[in-house]
Chain A
């Protein structure tokens, strides 16, 4: 696998370091142990100055000679091995392929190294945080599940991709959009609009909203994947474009916005490169139904989960701004949530022709 020209990457060095931990410990008759930063709310803090969620330095140990951890430890070594193999072969792969690559039956037993992908995914995330390597650097990619359209030109593997000439389908955002993989050659847009759902993105793309308002339209089909978030961040950073987020009016929509803005709890260490602290929440706000005359009957009653989640959000430090507290309280008070799709109740093109233009004109957004 390793060819002569292959230069050991820093990530590969870190992975090999894990093997050294085992060898050194064994020589000293010690229990081989890794320290892995904890990925949970208890170990993140919001940095108000930077506007980011940052990871704390609480760590958990994972040692081999502990009945509860032995298997996890073994799995960590297997995944590290598979990741090093990717580095040497200069390939990228998916989480699922790593699961299959590392799955086998342990010799002289009927036990599998991994039973489901649910076991291997967290191990990969553990390695990401403990080695302080991004998933892209580990050569692990997610599915391409985002689209982009607008006045922006990319260079992708030497191909010129002009996103203003790709019809209404746009360009599928790759999962790794680091400058080495994706180059932004030109961008003349005024802002980025990140839409939660594909339906609304399609509506805007079909109506050529981006041409009229000179913007880049991005969607991540739900919780935006890393590629989409990273690309928005690059456009924001490299071309100083403001980013507006358009999501459903429900707790999950709020959370999508907060992930784009401050980063996620699970992978807080990536906030540095992903989060866009200046992103704005353009809608759907709990004030909109009244302002835009949406009838009550297109709302959906909040269920118990929604209410619990909303209350949870209100306790997050980054939702403590009075405007946000008011926003969430208003939703809870009405007892209803609204989908973006509900705007079609007024008119199919209500979003393109009335709602967004009004919002942009009035600068009606939340920070």
Chain B
């Protein structure tokens, strides 16, 4: 939204005149409707950002009711998570969607047009004075002005959601916030004055609140609830994959409660704030910084307002630009500023520090994937930090592949023998790509996204996965890609797709290749063992038939058991016997030497076992039905500060709630054949020329 500032600036009389005069000469034949510059000037006035939004809400992700509902949930949850993490609190977030009755009657969730969204967190709370502005003033926030990795970036999200609610239902945003057990809880009802972009407070009182700390936001918006691709459900599920340190409870409008337990008990390391890197600054921004700086000299300005610029280097750059180092920053204008800017861009400067980014981490990705996706093989890769346009970033990728052994067996046992012409149902399921930017799932515009292009560009065939030209790889597979950066380059303000920078693309590709290599190794090993197994299976299967046929040929006078035994002995000696058992993992031979991977077999889980088993125990501990407010800070009490939370794993939860029903069902069956909801939505299909031509490409 930074670029929207100039909108109000364009309406000065100077620019108006030049615009009104130029079109006149050609149409001189029709003088009747000519308007003078004065008249036009009278009509020209400032456009408030809020007004701009009401007309352009699609820019922020409110194009249609379904997407709008998701955007509102997303903004509220992003804010909650950012706040919790910044305060060093392991987040407990509850999302509740309720159908709002219209015309007296409450329609079903799929028919409803109005929803009440309530998002509650256990974060630090918000001080009373700031509440109205945070929720009812666009472009107000703490995140825009700093170079620090966070989910939200612009301070527009939640207030835009509030404004959307205000526009569609006329209802104000309700906020309850409490900053600690000793402080009072405050209740607010706020709306935006769309002309002035200022909050209007409707209600402000102290109330009793069961939660000792946290914030609750309630929005009433027009929306449409529909499950499947790009739904609220999918978004929350994916959020839980990339944020295994979050406990998420979701009350669906249909009355279900989904509990995504916390499976990783460490907060991600708190990202540091950095100063901008000279390479990542555009000229306009550079000019603004020159005006705003507190330094009295340009060399001081460079050294203090940018990262990776030492006083020595700053002096060198001034020299190179032929400017005295003590020039006042505010005096640097026009051509001189431009030369200076260009000189800086040409100077060799060290890449920005990368400790400002906090990746999810391989273990956490694994645990997230394992928790939400039923598969056979999981792996995760975190790339070392890299830089695009002066912005550091980290790419992480993960893979979940295959079906659980128990599910594999299920499909192997059809009820009736097959007749001629009947075949096993062939599996033409395509892989699913789940994309994240700073831990936030991206659901729309998949094909415009750099991550998606990198997945398509990877030669999955090399890793034993089928892939037709220009298409996603085929098979029961979920591909996870995450980009963490202080500034994620989105293709649009609604933050749906990551822009296609070469550096980013390259990093994603490298991460995917590493995942692919591990998957390939896994598949090849499985294949080798399986083929041995199949060999023996075949013989064992046919021995019976051959013996029976021989017996009948011999008129029923054959020592059947003896012949069978002899043949089985030959079969065993010819298929490697014990070696096959080993290759099949039947002897319980350990992990398969794949780093950061989980392999699920019928006997159990291999690789990162401690982690996986913790998931299980956590799943046991997780209560399935939890009243919204009745569950404040159960396991957070000992973790008061961020420093304590890090590096310490809460234990002792196990057994506390052990009698609760097993939460294993929380794993969504992403691979179940019937659940084919991952069809691209319309907007997606329109801008996807590559895959649209895929079936024909195969001839």
Contact = CB atoms under 8 A, between A and B. Distances in A.
Q: Do A and B bind each other?
A: yes
Interface of A: 2, 15-16, 18-19, 22-23, 26-27, 29-31, 64-65, 67, 70-71, 73-74, 77-78, 80-81, 84-85, 105-113, 115-116
Most B Cβ at <10 Å: residue of A23, A73, A80, A111: A23
A70 B567 CA distance: 12
A22 B563 contact: yes
Contacts of B566: 26-27, 29
A15 B550 CA distance: 10
Given A23-B563, A115-B420, A116-B420, A18 B541 contact: no
B426 to A, nearest CB: 16
A71 B542 contact: yes
A265 B43 CA distance: 96
Nearest to A106: B541
B670 to A, nearest CB: 27
A14 to B, nearest CB: 11
Contact of B542 (A23, A73, A116): A73
Given A22-B550, A77-B545, A110 B570 contact: no
B558 interface: yes
A110 B413 contact: yes
B578 interface: no
B546 interface: yes
A26 B413 CA distance: 32
B686 interface: no
Nearest to B415: A110
Given A16-B553, A19-B554, A29-B566, A74 B418 contact: no
Interface string B405-423: 0000000011001101100
Contacts of B550: 19, 22-23, 77
Contact of A67 (B538, B549, B552): B538
Nearest to A115: B420
Nearest to B537: A109
B553 A112 contact: no
Given A107-B544, A110-B414, A110-B418, A23 B558 contact: yes
Contacts of B546: 22, 64, 73-74, 77
Contacts of B563: 22-23, 26
B553 A19 contact: yes
Nearest to A12: B553
Nearest to B544: A107
Given A23-B563, A113-B545, A65 B413 contact: no
Nearest to A85: B552
Contacts of A107: 544
B614 interface: no
B268 to A, nearest CB: 49
Contacts of A2: 555
A81 B549 contact: yes
Interface in B546-568: 546, 549-555, 558, 563, 566-567
Interface of B: 413-414, 417-418, 420-421, 534-535, 538-539, 541-542, 544-546, 549-555, 558, 563, 566-567, 569-571, 573-574
Nearest to B538: A70
Nearest to B412: A110
Contacts of B414: 110
Contacts of A16: 553-554
Contacts of A110: 413-414, 417-418
Given A77-B545, A80-B549, A29 B569 contact: yes
A77 B541 contact: no
20 contacts: A19-B549, A19-B551, A22-B546, A23-B563, A26-B563, A26-B567, A29-B570, A29-B573, A64-B546, A70-B539, A70-B542, A77-B546, A81-B549, A106-B541, A108-B541, A110-B417, A110-B418, A113-B545, A115-B418, A116-B420
A112 B571 CA distance: 21
B389 to A, nearest CB: 57
Given A22-B550, A26-B563, A106 B544 contact: yes
Given A19-B553, A22-B563, A106 B542 contact: yes
Closest 7 CB pairs of A and B: A105-B417, A26-B566, A77-B549, A19-B553, A19-B550, A74-B542, A81-B549
Among the interface residues A29, A70, A80, A85, which one has the most CB atoms of the partner chain B within 10 A?
A70
B418 A112 contact: yes
A121 to B, nearest CB: 14
Contacts of A65: 539, 570-571, 574
A81 B553 contact: yes
Given A110-B414, A113-B545, 8 more contacts: A19-B549, A23-B558, A65-B574, A74-B542, A74-B545, A81-B552, A110-B418, A116-B420
Given A70-B542, A116-B420, A80 B553 contact: yes
B537 to A, nearest CB: 9
Given A16-B554, A29-B570, A112 B544 contact: no
Given A64-B546, A70-B542, A26 B570 contact: yes
Nearest to A21: B550
Contacts of A84: 552-553
A109 B535 CA distance: 15
A64 B542 contact: yes
Nearest to A31: B570
A2 B570 CA distance: 33
A142 to B, nearest CB: 21
B265 to A, nearest CB: 46
Nearest to A67: B535
A59 to B, nearest CB: 21
Residue among B541, B549, B554 facing the most chain A CB atoms (10 A cut-off): B549
A112 B413 CA distance: 14
A343 to B, nearest CB: 42
Contacts of B555: 2
B545 to A, nearest CB: 5
A70 to B, nearest CB: 5
A16 B550 CA distance: 8
A110 B551 CA distance: 23
A73 B535 CA distance: 14
Nearest to B564: A26
A324 B535 CA distance: 52
Contacts of B571: 65
A116 B534 CA distance: 22
Contacts of A116: 420-421
